[in-house]
């Protein structure tokens, strides 16, 4: 059977093709534009594939996404319930997401940004001791990423809660359900977004949400740029409602030169690197699932197209 690999973003697609081929020697793994394609592929492994994926490969029954978020795949013409769309489950990303959040949480709660400013002035000036209870973390999304983020923050004794559709608790932290957003925000000072991008969650990081947070709040967005209403963030920073933000994802990526986020000292910008898919872990996970499908077994990580995640 042929497996096709398609990615517009991967800097070295051949590295992925070779690793998948080694893990699945019983199949032939090829690039989407391989002129020597012998047959139509039934399985695709993708990250930001070309929009005409399903036109070029009409025989696809399974599409494995190298990322956790499938929002870029859902609008592809030809995607239907006949295709099983499978997202990456962790793939080495969750621990990196936790590290990212801890970095910015600790930078704020321990005043490390201010100490950097004091060093620049050669000033030896201890600031106030940390009051951990004053840094309550609220994690939007209690899935694979959200659970690991919540667990990492809780392990350092920050007060943590998670918000999800179902309201489940993870890592021993209180869980708030979709309809309990107001209660969740009212106890949150550091708001961390790890939701999938869906019709329900697009634009959720807005003035209305920021206004319900505890005073002197901080935003960490590591999910998708379209979750954030950029003008509302700038207005909330300007009014002092938010003290700052760490942003890894943007409505337009790369973030355009001259965008106000670049030069704002209250905003920390990173180029969509909070959680990178690790090749060896992802290839092993996908190969295991392809073999399970071949044996007729159920697999996890299947996207519910009606829920969009
Ligand atoms: P996941 O396991 O599917 O978890 C999604 C979570 O969001 C679930 O807890 C779900 O609730 C909750 N949710 C979905 N819709 C909701 C709604 N309308 N209201 C409240 N909660 C809702 O996904 P994941 O693997 O954790 O990944 C989450 C996202 O992180 C991805 O979609 C991607 O956008 C982003 N991501 C970014 C990077 C990066 O480098 N920046 C890396 C990896 C992932 P239930 O549990 O009740 O279903
Ligand atoms: C990265 O952004 C992912 O969704 O895995």
pLDDT per residue as tens digits for the range 198-257? 999 999 999 999 999 999 999 999 999 999 999 999 999 999 999 999 999 999 999 999
pLDDT reported for residue 112? 97
Q: Would you call 272 a catalytic residue per the annotation?
A: yes
Closest protein CA for atom 36 of ligand 1: 223
Rounded to whole angstroms, the Cα distance separating 73 from 59 reads 17
Q: Does the global pTM surpass 0.85?
A: yes
What spacing in Å lies between the alpha carbon of 68 and ligand 2's midpoint?
A: 5
Classify each residue of 211-225 as buried b or exposed e, where b means 16 or more C-beta atoms within 10 Å of its C-beta: ebbbeebbbbbbbbb
pLDDT of 179 higher than 90: yes
Q: Is the CB of 223 under 6 A from ligand 1?
A: yes
Is the Cβ–Cβ distance between 16 and 10 less than 8 Å?
yes
Q: Which of 241, 272, 284, 291 is catalytic?
A: 272
Please report the domains of the chain, with CATH numbers, ordered by start residue. 2-91+277-294 (3.40.50.720), 93-269 (3.40.50.720)
pLDDT reported for residue 9? 84
């Amino acid at each position: 059977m042929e497996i096709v690999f398609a990615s517009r973003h991967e800097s070295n697609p051949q590295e992925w093709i070779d690793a998948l081929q080694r893990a699945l020697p019983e199949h032939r793994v090829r690039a989407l534009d391989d002129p020597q394609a012998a047959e139509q592929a039934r399985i695709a492994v993708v990250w930001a594939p070309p929009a005409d994926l399903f036109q070029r490969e009409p025989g696809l029954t399974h599409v494995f996404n190298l990322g956790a978020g499938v929002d870029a795949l859902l609008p592809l013409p030809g995607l239907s319930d006949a295709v099983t769309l499978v997202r990456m489950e962790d793939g080495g990303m969750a621990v990196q997401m936790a590290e990212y959040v801890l970095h910015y949480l600790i930078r704020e709660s321990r005043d490390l940004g201010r100490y950097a400013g004091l060093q620049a002035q050669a000033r030896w000036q201890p600031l106030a001791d940390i009051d951990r209870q004053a840094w309550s973390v609220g994690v939007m999304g209690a899935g694979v990423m959200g659970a690991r983020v919540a667990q990492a923050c809780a392990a350092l004794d920050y007060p943590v809660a998670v918000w999800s559709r179902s309201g489940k608790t993870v890592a021993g932290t209180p869980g708030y359900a979709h309809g309990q957003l107001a209660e969740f925000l009212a106890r949150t000072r550091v708001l961390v977004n790890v939701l999938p991008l869906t019709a329900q969650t697009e634009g959720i990081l807005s003035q209305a949400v920021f206004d319900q947070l505890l005073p002197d709040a901080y935003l960490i967005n590591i999910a998708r740029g379209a979750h954030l209403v950029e003008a509302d963030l700038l207005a909330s920073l300007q009014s002092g409602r938010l003290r700052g933000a760490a942003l890894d994802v943007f409505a337009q990526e790369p973030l355009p030169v001259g965008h106000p986020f670049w030069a704002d000292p209250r905003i920390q910008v990173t180029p969509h690197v909070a959680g990178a898919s690790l090749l060896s872990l992802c290839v092993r996970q996908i190969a295991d699932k392809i073999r399970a499908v071949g044996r007729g077994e159920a697999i996890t990580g299947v996207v519910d197209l009606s829920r969009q995640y």
